[in-house]
Amino acid sequence: MNLLDALVAALLSDYSRIIVVRKVFLLGMAAVVQYPYLGSRPFVWIYLLFSINLLGQICLLFLLGTLLFSNEVHPRKVHLINLLVATVIYGIGPWFLVYSGQLQDPTPGWGYCLFTASFKHGGDTMVITATLALTIELFATTRKISTSASRTERLRTYVLAFLPYFTFVLWMLITVAVGVITPSRVQHQDNRYYCVISSAWLGSSVEIYAVACDLVVIALEVYP
């Protein structure tokens, strides 16, 4: 009798575990990232946008290859090349979850999610900085602010060529620091096909930096 009771108890225990696992699985299946802003077929629009973005990146790579390897392109402007490189990186940033098939996964992995969010913030600021650097270089050369052989011009050229990559790394590190300090802010939210750092000041800082760079670009463009 004791053996029978023990056997029944073991079976009930196993059955309970199965029920619990099933409930957890169903809850996990229900807690997927939703895209209500994109209508009843959100993935049609997401993959359409992804396809257009991918096509644009291929065209950018062809243009970049032409600038780098064509014998008819002279001189090769490093700031224009930087802008193309930054645009390619900018285009990659939001699509890591598409590449890994985790568009509906609310927890694609904390480290992976943090990396993709930091890469996106870095790419956003990099393309803005590259645009600003190219505008400043064109403004300086067309108005002959310095002589072509001067040390000042060479220094300006080097600084402006390096600045987009410095900005990319800087904002990546800032984003990683925020994510490490407050891990709960690393999220894959509804209506976003990429991971984000849920931090108001971080998002505002990127926006303020972007607006400031845009204002400088506009000011240089309209300068008589």
Euclidean distance between CA atoms 175 and 35, whole angstroms: 25
| pLDDT tier at 157, thresholds 50, 70, 90 | confident
| pLDDT tier at 60, thresholds 50, 70, 90 | very high
Euclidean distance between CA atoms 59 and 57, whole angstroms: 5
- Residue 32 scores a pLDDT above 50: yes
Helices (H) and strands (E) in the chain, counts: 7, 2
pTM here is 0.78
| pLDDT tier at 31, thresholds 50, 70, 90 | low
Token representation of residue 198: 């849920």
Per-residue pLDDT tens over the stretch 194-204: 999 998 899 89
Alpha helices in 31-184 (DSSP H): 42-69, 78-92, 96-99, 110-142, 151-181
- Domain 36-222, CATH among 3.40.50.720, 1.20.120.140, 3.20.20.80, 1.20.1070.10: 1.20.1070.10
More confident residue, 220 or 74: 220
- Give the bridge partners for 186, in sequence order: 197
Per-residue pLDDT tens over the stretch 83-124: 999 999 999 988 898 888 888 888 888 999 999 999 999 999
Helix-helix angle 110-142:151-181, to 10 degrees:
160
What's the whole-number average pLDDT of the chain? 83
Q: What mean pLDDT is predicted for residues 133-144?
A: 86
Euclidean distance between CA atoms 149 and 17, whole angstroms: 77
Q: Please answer whether residues 137 and 83 qualify as being in contact, where contact means their C-beta atoms are separated by less than 8 angstroms.
A: no
> Which sequence spans correspond to the domains of the chain?
36-222
